[in-house]
Structure 1
Amino acid sequence: MSSNPLLDSLRNAVTAAPEDIALRLHLAELLLSDGARDEAVSHIAAALQQEPGNAAASRMMAQALAPADRTEPEEPEPAPKKSYDWSAAEAELADVVQPRFIESDESEQDDEPEAVPSDPQADGAVFEVETSDVRLDDVGGMTEVKKRLNAAFLAPMRNAKLRKLFGKSLRGGLLLYGPPGCGKTFLAKAVAGELGARFISVTLQEVLDMWMGNSEKNMHALFQTARQNAPCVLFFDEIDAIGQRRSQLRNSGLRGTVNQLLTELDGVKSDNEGVFVLAATNHPWDIDQALLRPGRFDRAVAVLPPDDEARKAILGYHLKDRPVAGIKLSELVKRTDGFSGADLAHICEAASERALMDSIEAGEPRMIEMPDLLGALGEVTPSTTSWFTTARNVVLYSNQDGTYNDLAAYLKKKRML
């Protein structure tokens, strides 16, 4: 490493301010001039990781990786003093030493070389476009959530004249948040079914790529697919993983992915008419605030544990194809307040296991009855409890802009606030 005092000072400055791209590139330029190409390349690569589209960094990287020009002409190789007959030598030693190289058999020469499979990510990721036959009527309860979805997407879509009169665009982003297992993905499919729109569901692993720039390319390919299939519901599951706060992503490739997502949502060249962007998260407080600004995910709906009507529908759904007798759904509904849909499904599964094991021990089948369900209920605690502990603190100390008013109303109703 060079002991140049200026370079040492710049290295210290870059260490203190690693996100200052201009400072880092200035250091890289001086390092190139000083002949420290490897160190310069590492700084240029760090700058490109933070800002993949930086033209100055790209030019400097090309300069750093270009082969050095020869300043002196190559000297011609001296002619051999005496030729040597290698063929004759090989013939003499054929019985002693095996030849180093042999020609392929004629049958092998006729075969074409095996094709190398192409990288499916070379031209960007391919995303599956589905259709949904789920409707909001298939979602039990959740009346307030359905009203918000109807106002945000469904009513404007069905009333073209009124939409034009009131200047309502078909562009939009809606964030569904709440504890896990409460049906956010099911609601997104129901919206697509109500609109008669195509449906694309995407998670972090489908977008993120280990190679620099490919994650951004995949994000662009995702939105292009949705635009080409409009009307289309584009659903980001666990958006907090894709759109994390950039302040928590220092020197991470995810920063570029978040920036690309912002650009695709409302960039100058983004035409998302007919593309309905929905997202779901269990941790809305971990999402980058830029994603929650107007024109992006500017509306949020709390999808909370199912109400009485919804719990009755969920329990009925999971028990309808099982051998049951004497089940009092109303009693189960009263005992499962605060349970998520996934919790209710688990209770039904555990009750079935109880009846199954009794049938095996008795040697004859029996029906699933209330004691089985009550026994299973006693072994299951609501999975939403820890989530509400965190959510309560967020509502108390981070709800100045009213983002979590729906959640605050629920907590007050349940006397948790």
Structure 2
Amino acid sequence: MSPDPLLVSLAAALEARPDDLPLRLHLAGLLVERGRGGEAIAHLGQVLARDPGNVEAQTLMQQALAPPAPDPSSAPGGPPSAASGPSSTPGGPPSATTPASAATPVADDDAGDPLAAYERELADIVPPRFVRAGDEPDPVSGDADRVFDVESSTVRLADVGGMAAVKERLEMAFLGPLRNPELRRMYGKSLRGGLMLYGPPGCGKTFLARAVAGEMGARFLSLSIVDVLDMWVGNSERNLHQLFQAARRNAPCVLFLDEIDALGHKRSQTSSSALRTLGNQLLAELDGMEGDNEGVFVLAATNTPWDVDPALRRPGRLDRMVLVLPPDADARRAILEYHLRGRPIAGVDLGRVVAATEDFSGADLAHLCETAAEFAMADSVRRGEVRMIGQPDLDRALKEVRPSTRPWLATARNVAMFANEGGVYDELVAYLRHRRML
């Protein structure tokens, strides 16, 4: 289908003026008229996020969400056309007037396998089972059989809600030296180093690491314990070395070590000699003993920094620790707006929801919006009438969804009180005192 020039022009104008609500409404109305309700819903959701009481947007949303009217000629059991005759029913017996040669032939070797007969019949449309596509390369073996998902991140720090202190620390440690090479050389700042992000689960540590890579224009490589462990002796250490080598080849690269407490657990508490050897290999890779780490920025994330081997926090390795906290009020508002933007909403008091979601992580807020959408959809199915997601749905979701950060904060409180040797967790202590939890 050729593109509609009017819709293309309106979409281009909207890209230049994304906050022009009348223009967005006009485009959504034309999309609804042309039967493109899915595209219209995205535009109408943005209008209602900015102006929940907009009657025209609500009316268009109802029209876009309404199921299309069935075509009588194509409905099951509808009258067949005059040209179809009695033999037009799919799978029905051939008409007496249909010659025997018109029936689909079935090979003798397919008689006992009806699926094979269908495969033969649809061979021009659906490729056979268990056969590689013609353009797929043959499998390789040896050192070249490891495929690393080295990607280019499109996320920027501006896409991360809140976290002003964390962004400032990242700017000082990584982004500033990269943007100012002359100052970097003058001050003798190297393009290597490591930083550990720690905090409650679901607060955006992985998303933040991707944002750092996008802000730097660097490649991004994520590493977890499943990418490394192998049942054969020595293979785990080799896998870890190959992952670091891939990051060095793609420098500048952000190497993200997810769940670093699993990969670099305290060796004094590890009974497995294989895991202790793997921890030693990780230390050697961070030191650059196995290769030059210039341009490789190591970011690690953990929910339990107190389980990480202290040797990993030695200067020159993961020597900086940054606390990633649950989102504050401004960040919660931004996260809620993001997760409600593409959904049909009306009459939602975001300020009231923000005030009721203290201690909620970003993942908790996404789950809250998903739960409210489930309630609205179930009610629409039950009533047979499509309706918007409203404040009652969010209030009901708030009764079911609980913040997942509180158990972590309770554990962190004990660590801050009794295990803050050398002031490692001073940032956590300051936060807990601010919250009057100490």
* TM more than 0.5: yes
- The corresponding residue for 2:235 is 214
Judged with a 3 Å threshold, the aligned counterparts in structure 2 of structure 1 residues 169 and 379 are, in CA distance, closer, same or farther, namely same
- The corresponding residue for 1:227 is 248
For residues 292 and 178 of structure 1, what CA distance do their matches in structure 2 show? 16
- The corresponding residue for 1:306 is 327
For residues 124 and 281 of structure 1, what CA distance do their matches in structure 2 show? 30
Give the partner amino acid of 2:163.
M
For residues 319 and 121 of structure 1, what CA distance do their matches in structure 2 show? 48
Give the partner amino acid of 1:356.
M
Q: Secondary structure at the match of 2:273?
A: coil
- The corresponding residue for 1:368 is 389
- 1:240-251 superposed matches below 5 A: 240-251=261-272
For residues 240 and 310 of structure 2, what CA distance do their matches in structure 1 show? 19
User: Which of 400, 405, 412 is matched with 1:379 structurally?
Assistant: 400
Instruction: Quote how far apart the aligned CAs of 1:173 are.
Output: 0.2
- 1:14-25 superposed matches below 5 A: none
- The corresponding residue for 1:345 is 366
- 1:156-171 superposed matches below 5 A: 156-171=177-192
Instruction: Quote how far apart the aligned CAs of 1:400 are.
Output: 2.4
Instruction: Quote how far apart the aligned CAs of 1:253 are.
Output: 1.2
- The corresponding residue for 2:346 is 325
- The corresponding residue for 2:194 is 173
- The corresponding residue for 1:140 is 161
- 8 Å CA contact 1:232–1:276 kept in 2: the answer is yes
Larger Cα-atom Rg:
1
- Name which of structure 1's ranges 402-411 and 192-201 shifts more when overlaid on structure 2: 402-411
Q: Secondary structure at the match of 1:170?
A: coil
For residues 287 and 298 of structure 2, what CA distance do their matches in structure 1 show? 11
Could you report, residue by residue, the CA deviation over 1:62-112 in whole angstroms, capped at 9, with x for unpaired residues? xxxxxxxxxxxxxxxxxxxxxxxxxxxxxxxxxxxxxxxxxxxxxxxxxxx
For residues 223 and 167 of structure 1, what CA distance do their matches in structure 2 show? 24
- The corresponding residue for 1:261 is 282
For residues 399 and 381 of structure 1, what CA distance do their matches in structure 2 show? 29
- 8 Å CA contact 1:234–1:277 kept in 2: the answer is yes
Q: Secondary structure at the match of 1:215?
A: helix
- 8 Å CA contact 1:174–1:298 kept in 2: the answer is yes
- 8 Å CA contact 2:245–2:291 kept in 1: the answer is no
Instruction: Quote how far apart the aligned CAs of 1:251 are.
Output: 3.4
CA RMSD of aligned residues (A): 1.5
Give the partner amino acid of 1:198.
R
- 1:89-238 superposed matches below 5 A: 125-238=146-259
Judged with a 3 Å threshold, the aligned counterparts in structure 2 of structure 1 residues 415 and 124 are, in CA distance, closer, same or farther, namely farther
Instruction: Quote how far apart the aligned CAs of 1:407 are.
Output: 1.3
Instruction: Quote how far apart the aligned CAs of 1:330 are.
Output: 1.2
For residues 294 and 344 of structure 1, what CA distance do their matches in structure 2 show? 36
TM-score, normalising length: structure 1: 0.70
For residues 324 and 407 of structure 2, what CA distance do their matches in structure 1 show? 16
User: Which of 424, 428, 433 is matched with 1:403 structurally?
Assistant: 424
Q: Are positions 1:414 and 2:435 aligned together?
A: yes
Instruction: Quote how far apart the aligned CAs of 1:268 are.
Output: 3.7
Q: Secondary structure at the match of 1:155?
A: helix
Aligned positions, number: 301
- 1:385-396 superposed matches below 5 A: 385-396=406-417
For residues 135 and 203 of structure 1, what CA distance do their matches in structure 2 show? 23
Q: Secondary structure at the match of 1:300?
A: strand
> Hey, which bits of structure 1, 4+ residues long, moved more than 6 A?
none
Instruction: Quote how far apart the aligned CAs of 1:331 are.
Output: 1.2
Percent sequence identity is 63
For residues 145 and 323 of structure 2, what CA distance do their matches in structure 1 show? 34
Give the partner amino acid of 1:265.
L
- 1:254-293 superposed matches below 5 A: 254-293=275-314
For residues 231 and 396 of structure 1, what CA distance do their matches in structure 2 show? 39
For residues 159 and 289 of structure 2, what CA distance do their matches in structure 1 show? 38
For residues 206 and 224 of structure 2, what CA distance do their matches in structure 1 show? 12
* Unmatched segments (≥5 aa) in structure 2: 1-137
- 8 Å CA contact 1:125–1:207 kept in 2: the answer is no
Judged with a 3 Å threshold, the aligned counterparts in structure 2 of structure 1 residues 246 and 118 are, in CA distance, closer, same or farther, namely farther
Q: Secondary structure at the match of 1:325?
A: coil
For residues 349 and 183 of structure 1, what CA distance do their matches in structure 2 show? 18
Give the partner amino acid of 1:381.
R
Give the partner amino acid of 2:312.
L
TM-score, normalising length: structure 2: 0.67
For residues 381 and 396 of structure 2, what CA distance do their matches in structure 1 show? 18
